[in-house]
Amino acid sequence: MNSKEGSVGEVSREAVSGSMPEVVQFFDTTLRDGEQCPGATLHPADKLVIAHQLRRLNVDVIEAGFPASSPGDFEAVQQIAREVEGPAVAGLARTKPSDIDAVYRAVRDAQKHLIHVFMSVSDIHITYKLGLDRATVLTQTATAIAYARTLCDTVQFSPEDAGRADLDYLCTVVQAAVDAGANVINLPDTTGYCLPNEFQNLVATVRREVRGMDQVLISVHCHDDLGLATANSLAGIAAGARRVEGCINGIGERAGNAAIEEVLMALRVRRPVLGLADNLCATELVPTSRLVAELTGMMVPANKPVVGANAFAHASGVHQHGVLRDRRTYEIIAAEEVGAGQSKIVLTARSGRHALRHRLDRIGVELPADSFQAVWTRFLEVADTSKEVGDETLSQIVGEVSGLQGAPRSSPA
């Protein structure tokens, strides 16, 4: 394959100007929100294995679990905090002091740690989930954040269901959290309800209206109920968020969370426009994806962006011809960038002659010019009754037509 090395795209404006781009951090919640996906529950040992792989991916924060939810989850979070170096380790807590205490005990042995407190702020949650009123939510939020800050230097507050909350009230609650000492504010579209322009406005409004936000790290946490989690995460970044929460493979409650691999590669591919950097080791994306899929039992669809089996596979003859000449014709990411090996030319009834010649060359078959047309004709007959023609079948076709039995030519030393 005639391919070009490195990422596809222009040289970033930062490289030209010499300035250092801002960094978008990644907060991985695969072991907390991701594990809440039905059927994906992980044993503590499995969580530890994934956490070590997340360290190799070099995520900025690992949310290791919800320590107050069960003894097993407390044990898993504590073990990760003690054994996994590099990323900060977080645990989730409600506004209950006992929850906050459990998080602190679980994460305190980590080199870097934080307490993540959440409280519902939409009226539908306040009324029907909590059975409270707005004033009580405000008081409980401020009290919980102030208490958490007595235990930990870094406290993150998430106003749950911010995407459906009254915007003025959302700002009031966030203000109370910041005044009480929260130094990370995470804005979640918990039900995946927002359109990108709405979510961008939400983040921008909180950033503008809440005093002290210039001293606070803004994070976003988007769900995929309408298929907008990646788009909304990028919209939040456009509004000033510099941390994204998400899960490997986009797993999580209901339709899942923003997929870290998608947000990351959007930042990388469109860096000339966005001008933002990150700390991740992108070549670990596919290995991490495969490990999470194996241990959770949540298989990755073939057409999943970035990490799916078909993300770098080409079956159309027109596409194959272009990619064989220069992969940038149809690939905006190099497969090697994300640890996916190389692009794959898949032989089907939609493939063209260039793809067939390429595959014959790859398996070491050299045909006389007058034999290729017969092989091509027989290939199409077989391909019309098969989803894919593999190397073994292709060798058989060559043998049937030419009597060469595939006759591999010798390769140069």
What local confidence, expressed as pLDDT, does residue 7 receive? 40
Show Cβ contacts of residue 187 under 8 Å, excluding neighbours closer than 6 positions.
158, 159, 162, 202, 203, 206, 218, 219, 220, 221, 236, 241
Amino acid identity, position 379:
F
**CB distance 26 to 53 below 8 Å:** no
Question: What's the predicted TM-score (pTM) here?
Answer: 0.87
Closest CA relative to residue 125, chosen from 95, 164, 94: 164
Chain-centroid distance, C-alpha 412: 41
Task: Catalogue all structural domains in the chain, each as residue range(s) with its CATH number.
Answer: 21-296 (3.20.20.70), 314-402 (1.10.238)
**Per-residue b or e along 107-123, where b marks 16 or more CB atoms closer than 10 Å to that residue's CB:** beebebbbbbbbbbbbe
Q: How many whole angstroms separate alpha carbon 66 and alpha carbon 151?
A: 17
Interstrand relation of 155-160 and 113-120 (parallel, antiparallel or unpaired): parallel
Helices 167-180 and 196-209: crossing angle in degrees, nearest 10, is 50
CB atoms within 10 A of CB 132: 16
Helix (H, G, I), strand (E, B) or coil at 159: strand
Predicted pLDDT at 50: 98
Q: What are 93's strand-pairing partners? A: 117
Residues ≥6 apart with Cβ < 8 Å to 251: 30, 34, 37, 40, 257, 292, 296, 298
Neighbours of 398 (CB within 10 A): 24
Instruction: Print pLDDT tens along the chain (413 aa).
Output: 433 333 433 334 444 445 689 999 999 999 999 998 888 889 999 999 999 999 999 999 999 999 999 999 999 999 999 999 999 999 999 999 999 999 999 999 999 999 999 999 999 999 999 999 999 999 999 999 999 999 999 999 999 999 999 999 999 999 999 999 999 999 999 999 999 999 999 999 999 999 999 999 999 999 999 999 999 999 999 999 999 999 999 999 999 999 999 999 999 999 999 999 999 999 999 999 999 999 999 999 999 999 999 898 887 777 877 777 888 888 899 999 999 988 887 888 888 888 888 888 888 888 877 788 888 888 888 888 888 888 888 888 888 887 644 444 433 33
